[in-house]
Structure 1
Amino acid sequence: MRIPRIKCSGTVFATLSALEGSCCGIPVLLRDGRSHIDLKVYISSDMEGSTGVVSAEQVMYGKPGYEFGRRMQLHDTLAAVSAALKWGAESVTVNDSHDRMINLDVSMFPRGVTLISGTPKILGMVEGVSGHDAAIFIGYHAMAGTEKAILDHTYSSKVVYGFKVNGIKLGETGLNALFCGALDVPVSMVAGDKAVCLEASSLLGETLVTCALKDGLGRNAALTKTPDETSALLSEAVKKALDAAAEGKSPVLKMEAPYKAELTFHTTAQADAAGLVPGSERVSGRTMVFTTEDIFEIRRWCSSSIDCASLAGY
């Protein structure tokens, strides 16, 4: 069944999959449901929002705490995978979405799971999501500038101060949800710290299933739960997410073209370097803008701009 796109709030579309309603003031539609057993599930796995992770050294390759962060990312991802298979998903695809994207060990996954590993990837954190029935974001974190959010950032802590599309502030969760929506894939669940769960719910509405694995006290401190506890929480949340997806209630986020992406950097030197990327327009000392009819071009522009900016001196 084709879902009509409904314009709302000037630029954002939200479609849920047989009732009319609204989420955060955004009009929605719901579509016919289906069975768990024919659901193709996609999992985007990041690290900062994983069980117990609170500091940069736990998420950076080569640092003393990295193996802990890697182990916790795998723990949470396997908990979600196991739950999806337990509740009858037809297939599960996992995309390693942290940093160099070679953190997850394929030998640890059960038969029948596909792991997307390595970088660069055209769609980055949601590479391979096309054709799936439900997207689940695991280990996610809040956007840059969020209070009491563990390791809050938007793609790069050192480079990106803020990011918007068509005037709407977005983090990685929001932009990845837009890419999924452009491919008609609903985001059924977001798991990470409490802050990212609130961010995701605010953007995607109350039918989104969220799973808070820790509660930030600041950027590098949190009230954490044990792996046994988070395994149980993730299993329950995945079941709810698949129920919502099967019933056609998971949110699909869409936005009306043209798309105006806006990157604000920490320094003018970074903006100088980012200005070398074709199509960029400088609108202030630290802010670059890019306008396109193709939402996926935003991914390429962001990646290129951040890479250039990261090479800038002080």
Structure 2
Amino acid sequence: MKIYISSDMEGCTGVVSAAQADPGGQEYSFGRVMQLHDLDAAVKGAFDGGAERVIVNDAHGSMTNVDISRLGRGVRLVSGSPKLLGMMEEVGGCGGAVFLGYHAMAGTEKAVLDHSYDKQTIYSLSVNGRKMGEAGFNALLAGVQDVPVIAVSGDCALCIEAGSLLGENVETIPVKEGLAHAAALCLPPEESCEKIYAGVKRAAEKLKAGEFSPFTMEAPYVLDVGLANTMQADAASLVPGAVRIAPRALRFETEDALELRRVLYSVIASASAQKGAF
């Protein structure tokens, strides 16, 4: 059994500010330490739950945050960017996926560092009319490759979001309670380690028992993207297939769910060129 871990940073133990999660931040070293802390607990839980191999995808920022020298035997690290499927690169062929250190979608109240992929461009996302953030979108990318999401960790808001979208069977592992965008009531590392280990182990055991099914939606897939301003929408409307449905919103339709990822990042790249342009 092969377990996949998509490892983000904003939802990790003790992380509450951009300074701790951005490579240029003064406290970025703290974020890297806590990402490894949570990752170590998740990897151990996966192996003790029956995994024979663990694939870790460094899924935060530049995707070069995880120190490979800290990973043990049986683990493989997917590092660097750009990657065709980004946060879900190499998920195909795995038995189940864990979303570690994830955060709630943009616009969520009392959610730590809430955003959806790019905090300066993406205001909202929905697929086939269902609002979602990174957890939902990435679950769909995994699901169309027949890989179920078995566990998620982050703040309470993220866990509620994931549970409502993916079902009550998914293991939700809250390590902090958001008080504001950049404030939270946090568990100490020792306690969060125990929770992550136990949650991932339990999820792996349930996966081995056949208790999970992939998150899927029916094609065609209709992606609606809300952008931060009209200038960004102007630029992103040049992406092939774009239909302007509102002054700062675009719609795309495809039969291929994996194409959604290419479309979304093309939108982000085009919109990003207009950051601070007015």
Taking structure 1 as the reference length, the TM-score comes to 0.86
- Sequence identity, in percent? 51
- Tell me if the contact between 1:208 and 1:251 (Cα under 8 Å) persists in the aligned partners: no
2:133 corresponds to 1:171: yes
- Structure 1 residue 86 displacement after superposition: 2.7
Match in the other structure for 1:230: 192
2:178 corresponds to 1:203: no
How does 1:181-192 map onto structure 2 within 5 Å? 181-192=143-154
Other structure's SS at 2:105 match: coil
| Residue identity opposite 1:243 in structure 2 | E
Match in the other structure for 1:266: 228
- Tell me if the contact between 2:49 and 2:202 (Cα under 8 Å) persists in the aligned partners: no
2:116 corresponds to 1:154: yes
User: Which deviates further from its counterpart, 243-252 or 90-99?
Assistant: 243-252
- Structure 1 residue 246 displacement after superposition: 1.2
Give the Cα–Cα distance (whole angstroms) in 1 for the partners of residues 154 and 267 of structure 2: 27
- Tell me if the contact between 2:50 and 2:208 (Cα under 8 Å) persists in the aligned partners: no
Deviations 1:281-314 (CA, angstroms, capped at 9, x unpaired): 1111100111111111110010010111011112
| Residue identity opposite 2:235 in structure 1 | A
2:62 corresponds to 1:62: no
Match in the other structure for 2:82: 120
| Residue identity opposite 1:263 in structure 2 | V
Give the Cα–Cα distance (whole angstroms) in 2 for the partners of residues 170 and 86 of structure 1: 32
- Structure 1 residue 184 displacement after superposition: 0.6
Other structure's SS at 1:129 match: coil
Other structure's SS at 1:140 match: coil
Unaligned regions of 5+ residues in structure 2, if any?
none
Cα RMSD between the aligned structures?
Answer: 0.8
- Tell me if the contact between 1:204 and 1:251 (Cα under 8 Å) persists in the aligned partners: no
Deviations 1:197-229 (CA, angstroms, capped at 9, x unpaired): 000000011111010010000111100011111
| Residue identity opposite 1:276 in structure 2 | L
Other structure's SS at 1:137 match: strand
Give the Cα–Cα distance (whole angstroms) in 2 for the partners of residues 284 and 238 of structure 1: 41
Unaligned regions of 5+ residues in structure 1, if any?
1-38
Taking structure 2 as the reference length, the TM-score comes to 0.98
| Residue identity opposite 2:125 in structure 1 | F
- Structure 1 residue 65 displacement after superposition: 1.0
How does 1:243-254 map onto structure 2 within 5 Å? 243-254=205-216
- Structure 1 residue 76 displacement after superposition: 0.5
Give the Cα–Cα distance (whole angstroms) in 1 for the partners of residues 179 and 92 of structure 2: 36
- Tell me if the contact between 2:17 and 2:113 (Cα under 8 Å) persists in the aligned partners: yes
Deviations 1:224-268 (CA, angstroms, capped at 9, x unpaired): 011111110011101110122112112411111111101000100
| Residue identity opposite 1:157 in structure 2 | K
How does 1:1-314 map onto structure 2 within 5 Å? 39-312=1-274, 313-314=277-278
- Structure 1 residue 166 displacement after superposition: 0.9
Give the Cα–Cα distance (whole angstroms) in 2 for the partners of residues 214 and 251 of structure 1: 27
| Structure 1 runs, 4 residues or longer, greater than 4 Å off | none
Give the Cα–Cα distance (whole angstroms) in 2 for the partners of residues 135 and 196 of structure 1: 16
Give the Cα–Cα distance (whole angstroms) in 1 for the partners of residues 257 and 190 of structure 2: 39
The structure with the larger Rg is 1
Other structure's SS at 2:246 match: coil
Other structure's SS at 2:138 match: helix
